[in-house]
Chains A and B, each alone.
Chain A
Amino acid sequence: MRRSNIWLWSAAALAYAFLYIPLLIVVVYSFNDSKLNAEWVGFTLSWYVALFNNQEMLTAARNSLIIAVSASFLATLLGTMAGLAIHRYKLKFLPVLVFTPVAMPEILLGVALLLFFLQVLNLTLGMVSIIIAHTTFCIGFVAIIVRARLQGMDESIFEAARDLGASPWQTFRLITLPLIMPAVVAGALMSFTLSIDDFVITFFTKGVGEPILPIQIYTMIKVAVTPEVNAISTLLMLLTLTLIIIAAKLDSGILRREAK
């Protein structure tokens, strides 16, 4: 055991390094006073300044935020319902519909929605189509989180509420909802990150109109790499890191008052 631990530790340390060094490099170069991501020249904030003067980038960020907020709201609502329904009722069809979009390659959903929007809905691709597309794949993630939480709970709690005089609706409002709330919040935050992060489905359903953040980043990477990409990357990492910390705080705050 003791000796094999050394091997395990070194293998794991390598894996952690593999996960973190690339991101660290992106952050470091965002402060490098050089147009090339090669030699360290000196510290600068000019890439951030350039970023905040880039009107198109700011519009893209605003659009992405609108999309992420709308999609995560819709997905949280529908996904919570789906999670509750799948846990409580014996449904055959709904679980397949909810979990398949999570399990299949994103490109398939992107292609299918592109064809659907253009042929059937005659919808001009843009913000609305992206919001719908993001909602479609986020529902499954929310449902998984909500269902997992319900599965971990003692069913007799809900019976106890009824037994002590609560109607089904009161049981839901006073017992079920408060108890699944951490999962709902976690689901909402996850949907938000997934949406603001999503490239593939956005790429297919974006149309030619408004600039969207991931598409903007893609264009910069493909066409002309400047450390502005590093700057926006660093800011995005900061945003999601903050969200995760908030989620963790929320969760542990609620966890402290919880069974198990």
Chain B
Amino acid sequence: MALLEIRNVTRCFGDFTAVDNVSISIEAGEFFTLLGPSGCGKTTLLRMIAGFDLPDAGQILLDGKDMFGTPPEKRPIHTVFQSYALFPHMTVADNIAFPLKMAGTTPDEISSRVREALDDVRLANFGNRFPQELSGGQKQRVAFARGLVNRPRLLLLDEPLGALDAKLREEMQIELINLQKERGVTFVFITHAQNEALALSHRIAVMNQGKVEQLDEPSRIYGFPRNRFVADFIGKISIMNAQVLEAAPAHLKLSVAGLGEVTSPTKENVKMGDTGVLAIRPEQVRISHHAEEVELKNHFIGKVQGFLYVGDVTTYIVELPNGARIEALLPNSAPGRAKFFEAGDPVAVSWRHDAGTFLND
């Protein structure tokens, strides 16, 4: 039995459907992420799991029990808020002790558990400080400690890293993974940052306009986006209009308008004559000066339109004869060299037959 089961949940605010018939089941011990742009319904879904909001239709079950009539304080689910929501009039230790006190834990037990929790987040000497005397990262760790101290069945994390600067965020990501592994608590994490989702999660549900667009492991979400929204939202991708010429069990043969034929990995529910786009990641595209050098069957010729040097890699934008643009990513392995191609250079772009995805319209 899944730990948390969301069954056909719908939530409307007036005419606006924030969450539209969503079903997700989350296993115990999982690091699960709800990913989507702001307004996609991920926060509303999180609030319904926590108990701050109730579904208009559908059910939310924890350990098989419908949570509908259970107020937030009675759910074995805790939340780490985006703003941390630390109580400003309590010390760090009192903040962490709060859920234990509410649960009626004995004072002795409370003090030992609080000490433990402070140690776990490397804040052993900060127990008597007030939240406003802490840095952003420290506040963050107190919020984690407070959410975990009472050993909830589920910890909800509402964009908890959003307020931190880039460097600190990376540190906290690693800390978060370790914390989750050590405690074995199930995490439901929400974020709009795709790289964060890819880095942290066991599974990701990509949400858009109240619906789940794709639910999968990070590598499959990235590698095989199910539709254009997911492809666009996660990472960079180049897109060319295409039509299916042949849908074989092992591969698809596509005709790219005005350019020619290519092969791409097969996909469910695609049949001959379907129109759509061929989507391909920049790092899967190779780029060479002459078409003769290309060994791969999937290749087109084009002209370098421009490039972006960002240090570790350079992205080249290549314009194809039909007007489509394709991006190619090249690592800058030669020190001090920013580019291998100049704008205006005629080039050939190519990719393996198992790269790229066909997306139906």
Contacts and interface: CB of A to CB of B under 8 A. Distances in A.
Interface of A: 154, 156-157, 159-167, 170, 174-175, 178-179, 254, 257-260
Interface residues of B, number: 28
A186 B192 CA distance: 42
B96 to A, nearest CB: 10
Contacts of B50: 159, 163
A159 B72 contact: yes
Given A159-B52, A257-B130, A259-B131, A165 B85 contact: no
Given A154-B83, A156-B82, A156-B83, A165 B73 contact: yes
Contacts of A257: 88-89, 130, 132
A110 B98 CA distance: 49
Nearest to A162: B72
Contacts of A157: 85-88
28 contacts: A154-B85, A156-B82, A156-B85, A157-B85, A157-B86, A159-B81, A159-B85, A160-B85, A162-B51, A162-B71, A162-B72, A163-B51, A163-B73, A164-B98, A164-B99, A164-B102, A165-B73, A165-B98, A166-B73, A166-B98, A167-B71, A170-B102, A175-B87, A179-B89, A257-B88, A257-B89, A257-B130, A259-B131
A160 B88 contact: no
A174 B85 CA distance: 14
Contacts of B131: 259
Nearest to A170: B102
Contacts of A174: 98
Contact of A161 (B51, B88, B98, B147): B98
B88 A165 contact: no
A166 B87 CA distance: 13
Contacts of A164: 73, 78, 98-99, 102, 146-147, 150
A259 B83 CA distance: 11
A163 B46 CA distance: 12
Task: Identify the 3 closest CB pairs spanning chains A and B, nearest first.
Answer: A165-B102, A259-B88, A160-B85
A162 B85 CA distance: 12
A154 B89 CA distance: 13
B283 to A, nearest CB: 39
Contact of A166 (B81, B82, B102, B147): B102
A24 to B, nearest CB: 40
Contacts of B72: 159, 162-163
Nearest to A167: B73
B279 to A, nearest CB: 38
Interface in B76-106: 77-79, 81-83, 85-89, 98-99, 102-103
B52 to A, nearest CB: 6
Contact of A258 (B78, B83, B88): B88
Residue of B74, B83, B88, B130 contacting most chain A CB atoms (<10 Å): B88
Given A163-B78, A166-B102, A259-B131, 16 more contacts: A154-B85, A160-B81, A160-B86, A161-B87, A162-B72, A164-B99, A164-B102, A165-B98, A165-B99, A165-B103, A165-B150, A166-B98, A174-B98, A254-B89, A259-B86, A260-B88
Contacts of B52: 159, 162-163
A25 B150 CA distance: 65
B157 to A, nearest CB: 12
Contacts of B89: 178-179, 254, 257-258
B71 A259 contact: no
A40 to B, nearest CB: 52
A178 B89 CA distance: 7
Contacts of B150: 164-165
A178 to B, nearest CB: 5
Nearest to A157: B85
B144 to A, nearest CB: 13
Residue of B71, B86, B89, B146 contacting most chain A CB atoms (<10 Å): B89
Contacts of A159: 50, 52, 72, 79, 81, 85
A115 B77 CA distance: 58
A178 B87 CA distance: 10
Contacts of B83: 154, 156
Given A165-B150, A260-B132, A156 B81 contact: yes
Contacts of B98: 161, 164-166, 174
Contacts of B87: 157, 160-161, 175
A163 B72 CA distance: 5
Interface in B27-52: 50-52
Contacts of B85: 154, 156-157, 159-160
A178 B132 CA distance: 16
